[in-house]
Structure 1
Amino acid sequence: MAALSAKTIKNAFLAQHHPRTRHGTRYHSGFCFCITRSMHSFQECRLSVADSSAKWLNTTTTPWTSFNKAVSCNAAQGGSDVSSSEKVDFLNLQNGSDIRGVAVAGVEGEPVNLTEPATEAIAAAFAAWLLNKKEADGLRRLRISVGHDSRISAHKLQNAVTHGITAAGHDILQFGLASTPAMFNSTLTEDERNHLPVDGAIMITASHLPYNRNGLKFFTSDGGLNKADIKDILERASEIYEESAHGKQREQEDASRGVVNSVDYMSIYASDLVQAVRKSAGGKEKPLEGLHIVVDAGNGAGGFFVDKVLKPLGAVTTGSQFLEPDGLFPNHIPNPEDKTAMNAITEAVLDNKADLGIIFDTDVDRSAAVDSSGHELNRNGLIALMAAIVLEEHPGTTVVTDSVTSDGLTVFIENKLGGKHHRFKRGYKNVIDEAIRQNSIGEESHLAMETSGHGALKENHWLDDGAYLMVKLLNKLAAARTLDSSIGSKVLTDLVEGLVEAAVTVEIRLKIDQNHADLKGGSFRDYGEAVLRHLENAIDKDPNLHKAPKNYEGV
């Protein structure tokens, strides 16, 4: 099969966009996915989406299904024709190193801007960007994986991504419900039987944002893409989208279209986590036997951790909650920083008299824990715990965090643990990149963490993986229980003894109107810097206020 260069990938994508109507829409076999939703209530919509999810998995199990055969479908899905009236501001979809937008209509004042045609164009643009990065010059087809969290718009965007990639002449692996860390891991896993590793990965998620939002994250074997990469991809996508809207298409032979395979990658990924815990316990098959651990997945993608990780390790998991994927998030926001979410897992631990509680965000790149007494291990507490574990393994190492960590954490890391605390800018990618930079200049760093629950370790390819963070805690428990089977989560709590936290912590986020008169025609940055100068002056005049030293953001 002829592969396509980055220069022709755009035209290959456009050639697939034949005019379609809502009825009698043509799609390639293995790709038609119809959802019948009752619109009487969101609850009924939710249940029907869940049922359709199972149906989708059953229709994509044929290995390397070709898209050459066409079938009919009455639901307009991915690959819909782009109307010239549907303008999309692609650059407005950028959210740092991610793409975020509104994917579901129904919320007043929030029009849909992450449409299926826009998503197709973005996927095709990622393939073109990836070809350039790999300097493949069209010599081979790419393999790209796609997964999603539990959001109700997940399947239609997965369809759109699939069409955008395959129309550009590249092959795609669909993982279905997956975690963000697993998607990155698929670029590293050596398993040719399952067509791994892939050249690039796409995760469809918007983390803990409301149900109507969604987004995309992109990975290569080097890690997540940066802001400049995302801007490049969105600029390419805008060009592809505009040319498609104006009918600049080129016919293409069916043989050059990409093909699709469905892979149960979460089982592969979870198996690696299980082996890591067993290794820490000297090869014992069930090192967590006798431990009672409850998990709160917040109806996101983290439910796998119970059946695929904890149970094989011997843990009792009764009392675990909200494991079913539900994109309306009916119980609480899946966010380890959210008070309601943390109260929910704390209550589950206490009500079930569990040894440990674990909570994940929607796509499992963030996490937190609760010990048997109900003490929360999140934010500064989780950073302190991870720092204690990492500094036992790598004495004196530098711990890179975001800028809003407490002074008590600095004292704990530097005075109690003997490490170095390097505060840097907010944003998990900023923190991770700074840790990588520190190593490049000879300053050893093995841990990069945000107070949000994003945590990355050098030993794990600098991947911010909420499940891997929890495995590090389980490793500690498993190793301790090989010496004394009565040991519970107190072994973790003891590690953060001496951490002094502020009695009250308040975070205030200010919305700044770009058109406000106080800006006086200046930029957002100019105004922000003026606010910081004002704050510095106020601090200088008040003896009770002190600036945090060695802080690389704000004051």
Structure 2
Amino acid sequence: MAALSGKVVQNVFIAQFYQQNRQFGTQYQRDICVPYMRALPPFHGGKLAWTSNSSMQMRKLLKYQNGFVNRRTFYCNAASSATAIPSLDKVDFLKLQNGSDIRGVAVSGVEGEPVSLTEPVTEAIAAGFAAWLLDKKKVDASRKLRVSIGHDSRISAQKLQDAVSRGIASAGLDVVQYGLASTPAMFNSTLTEDEAILCPADGAIMITASHLPYNRNGFKFFTSDGGLGKNDIKDILERAASIYSNFLAKGYSVKASESVKKVDYMAVYTSDLVKAVRKAAGNIEKPLEGFHIVVDAGNGAGGFFAAKVLEPLGAITSGSQFLEPDGMFPNHIPNPEDKAAMKAITQAVLDNKANLGIIFDTDVDRSAAVDSTGRELNRNRLIALMSAIVLEEHPGTTIVTDSVTSDGLTSFIEKKLGTTQTELTWGKHHRFKRGYKNVIDEAIRLNSIGEESHLAIETSGHGALKENHWLDDGAYLMVKLLNKLASARASGKGVGSKVLTDLVEGLEEPAIAVELRLKINQNHPDLKGRSFREYGEAVLQHLGNSIASNPKLQKATVNYEGVRVSGFGGWFLLRLSLHDPVLPLNIEAPSHEDAVKLGLEVSAAVKEFQALDTSALDKFVQP
């Protein structure tokens, strides 16, 4: 580790800046900036038109600004630089909350999407997290807390990383930048104990907006206890609002921290993944030698997996694609649920005659796979596969999933479980709410009351294991698959992805599976002053009452979200979105005709709710 530490740690001293001279004329600032602002790359059709000269022009602008550092900090309103001081507008910080994350618009250029994550807003949020962390840790004055910061491949990443660093440093905390990183690695940095690489961090911030478009960004926060919850995020945003109010009252100026340290923590994280696979194979150096595995990182942060994990294990990775980080995501949305993304990795597997394909989302907390025949292992199939692996290791354990998992998955976990298991390895399926944090927290709760659970996983590809500190880690999920491949080969029980697909044999899958989104018009008079959430709950209550008197349908007796109903050989679930004025309707059935019958039952029950846009449902059920 000492040799590794020497490579991964370096001190970076950031230039000192003086506070803005308020008498420095605005017109003068504007005049000297204009020639350089014109040189910056324009936006066309919502996409950044980055030319071959753009990076040189940006360097010229930064050099020109740096020439004034020793005199005063000046203002170029649209420039992104270490010395730019943006204008301050009033901000509703609580609107930036997205469950247990923070999300906003970080790049201008998309019509109707004004920037909400400005540098001052970001700095205030980071300072709010620092204040929250100081209250939580309650350390004495002799020890400075340490916060690690990482980001995905988005084009706004560097700007926000600098603003986050300033916010953390302004509270007196030490800042450690990881640069391009994965969300799981950021959490792991709070657990690793090695002072040589400045670990553990007391808190960690990941700058990411998952699979959202290039102009968005956001933040995820961690301590050694895991990801922060909704109440914590609200607390941080309320603190940030107070800090931002001081900016408005007293003026905002960029003050760089005196010292920022940089660590290549991804080298540590990937080394741990490699060790996990070797251990599962009986400490063989190259347990995947001869396996051909292609990776699709979607130009996000997951490109490391091919060269830093698979190749050291002996795997062939030729044919891997979109490994280079590109925050414009030019090839496909980095999302294992996206049809175009899954088609891309499937085609790569078939074209390269690979044994397995692996795909990640932008920040690598979600993943999916494709077997050698092109069969996708995502959503219910991935849950079934992970359930089979975990139940082999922990027979009878409870598998916690989100609410939209299929009835066939329940049967698989509780009764059938592939071709290689016995009744002794059957488990229990605990279907809970949507939202990866909800699923993880429920698994933790079950363990606390004596019900053993080792896996919490969503259909979205978020999967967390008890053995991995309940972290939803897409790379670790794929390592569990690699462990199975490696151990099967080492024991002579099989070679290739058939080892995996055999585990999910017997999973009953519906012929029809659709999700329809019924939007609530918040301006419709039928709301009668109610919030969209209150209106949505009224819709669900009415649907539940209607179903109770219908002999063809059976309402789920145990259900934690929305209204779930079985009938006509299938089921439907109508629920209220976690964040948006939408009621998603999931329908699964053995035929299109049966799916339509289920849809008609919902349509009849909700037709009196005039603010509910049922056009998607109407289209689905029409003859």
TM interval, short-chain normalised? 0.7 to 0.9
- SS of structure 1 residue aligned to 2:220: strand
- Distance in 2 (alpha carbons) for counterparts of 1:313 and 1:447: 26
- Distance in 2 (alpha carbons) for counterparts of 1:368 and 1:443: 28
Residue correspondence of structure 1 range 420-499 to structure 2 within 5 A: 420-484=428-492, 487-499=495-507
Residue correspondence of structure 1 range 90-169 to structure 2 within 5 A: 90-169=93-172
Deviation at 1:49, TM superposition (A): 8.6
Deviation at 1:118, TM superposition (A): 0.3
Letter in structure 2 aligned against 1:297: A
Q: Deviations over 1:22-71 (max 9, x none)?
A: 9999xxxxxxxx9x8533765652878999999xxxxxxxxxxxxx9999
- Distance in 1 (alpha carbons) for counterparts of 2:93 and 2:475: 32
Residue correspondence of structure 1 range 348-363 to structure 2 within 5 A: 348-363=348-363
Change in CA separation of 1:70 and 1:326 when aligned onto 2, cut-off 3 Å: farther
Q: Deviations over 1:478-513 (max 9, x none)?
A: 001113396100000000010001111111223223
Deviation at 1:533, TM superposition (A): 2.4
Worse-superposed segment, 413-422 or 445-454: 413-422
Contact 1:168 1:258 in 2 (8 A): no
Deviation at 1:260, TM superposition (A): 0.8
Contact 1:19 1:81 in 2 (8 A): no
2:212 counterpart of 1:204: no
- Distance in 1 (alpha carbons) for counterparts of 2:376 and 2:58: 34
- Distance in 2 (alpha carbons) for counterparts of 1:249 and 1:300: 33
Residue correspondence of structure 1 range 215-234 to structure 2 within 5 A: 215-234=218-237
Aligned length: 516
- Distance in 1 (alpha carbons) for counterparts of 2:55 and 2:428: 47
Residue correspondence of structure 1 range 312-327 to structure 2 within 5 A: 312-327=312-327
Residue correspondence of structure 1 range 293-442 to structure 2 within 5 A: 293-417=293-417, 418-442=426-450
The equivalent of 2:531 in structure 1 is 523
Tell me the percent identity. 71
Contact 1:103 1:212 in 2 (8 A): yes
Contact 1:46 1:328 in 2 (8 A): no
Residue correspondence of structure 1 range 514-553 to structure 2 within 5 A: 514-540=522-548, 543-553=551-561
- SS of structure 2 residue aligned to 1:508: strand
Q: Deviations over 1:436-482 (max 9, x none)?
A: 00000000000000100000000000000000000000000000111
**Larger RCO, structure (CA 8 Å, separation 6 or more):** 1
- SS of structure 2 residue aligned to 1:410: helix
2:515 counterpart of 1:511: no
The equivalent of 1:10 in structure 2 is none
- Distance in 2 (alpha carbons) for counterparts of 1:307 and 1:516: 54
Deviation at 1:551, TM superposition (A): 1.8
Deviation at 1:541, TM superposition (A): 5.5
Q: Deviations over 1:222-271 (max 9, x none)?
A: 0000000000000110110111121179999x9xx562111111111000
Contact 2:360 2:366 in 1 (8 A): yes
- Distance in 2 (alpha carbons) for counterparts of 1:387 and 1:380: 10
Contact 1:17 1:79 in 2 (8 A): no
- Distance in 2 (alpha carbons) for counterparts of 1:244 and 1:440: 44
Letter in structure 2 aligned against 1:479: S
- Distance in 1 (alpha carbons) for counterparts of 2:520 and 2:502: 43
Structure 2's unaligned 5+ residue stretches are: 1-16, 30-36, 60-68, 418-425, 564-623
Letter in structure 2 aligned against 1:167: S
Worse-superposed segment, 125-134 or 500-509: 500-509
- Distance in 1 (alpha carbons) for counterparts of 2:314 and 2:485: 13
- Distance in 2 (alpha carbons) for counterparts of 1:196 and 1:401: 32
Letter in structure 2 aligned against 1:322: F
Letter in structure 2 aligned against 1:271: S
- SS of structure 2 residue aligned to 1:214: strand
Change in CA separation of 1:150 and 1:249 when aligned onto 2, cut-off 3 Å: closer
- Distance in 2 (alpha carbons) for counterparts of 1:489 and 1:527: 48
Structure 1's unaligned 5+ residue stretches are: 1-14, 26-33, 55-67
Q: Deviations over 1:355-389 (max 9, x none)?
A: 00000000000000000011111001000000000
Q: How large is the Cα RMSD of the aligned pairs? A: 3.0
2:81 counterpart of 1:77: yes
- SS of structure 2 residue aligned to 1:511: strand
Residue correspondence of structure 1 range 174-189 to structure 2 within 5 A: 174-189=177-192
- Distance in 1 (alpha carbons) for counterparts of 2:325 and 2:71: 31
- SS of structure 1 residue aligned to 2:240: helix
- Distance in 2 (alpha carbons) for counterparts of 1:19 and 1:416: 73
Change in CA separation of 1:39 and 1:521 when aligned onto 2, cut-off 3 Å: closer
Residue correspondence of structure 1 range 262-301 to structure 2 within 5 A: 262-301=262-301
- Distance in 1 (alpha carbons) for counterparts of 2:184 and 2:28: 38
Q: Deviations over 1:122-179 (max 9, x none)?
A: 1111111100000125442111111101111111001111111122222111111110
Contact 1:448 1:456 in 2 (8 A): yes
Contact 1:409 1:500 in 2 (8 A): yes
The equivalent of 1:45 in structure 2 is 50
Change in CA separation of 1:258 and 1:350 when aligned onto 2, cut-off 3 Å: same
The equivalent of 1:5 in structure 2 is none
Contact 1:364 1:465 in 2 (8 A): yes
Change in CA separation of 1:464 and 1:23 when aligned onto 2, cut-off 3 Å: farther
Among 164, 174, 184, the alignment partner of 1:171 is 174
- SS of structure 2 residue aligned to 1:333: coil
- Distance in 2 (alpha carbons) for counterparts of 1:554 and 1:47: 52
Q: Deviations over 1:401-440 (max 9, x none)?
A: 1101000000000112410011111100000000000000
- SS of structure 2 residue aligned to 1:294: strand
Change in CA separation of 1:72 and 1:111 when aligned onto 2, cut-off 3 Å: closer
Deviation at 1:87, TM superposition (A): 1.2
Change in CA separation of 1:251 and 1:386 when aligned onto 2, cut-off 3 Å: closer
Contact 2:295 2:358 in 1 (8 A): yes
Deviation at 1:534, TM superposition (A): 3.0
- Distance in 2 (alpha carbons) for counterparts of 1:508 and 1:51: 47
- Distance in 2 (alpha carbons) for counterparts of 1:534 and 1:228: 30
- Distance in 2 (alpha carbons) for counterparts of 1:107 and 1:245: 27
Contact 1:79 1:163 in 2 (8 A): no
The equivalent of 1:60 in structure 2 is none
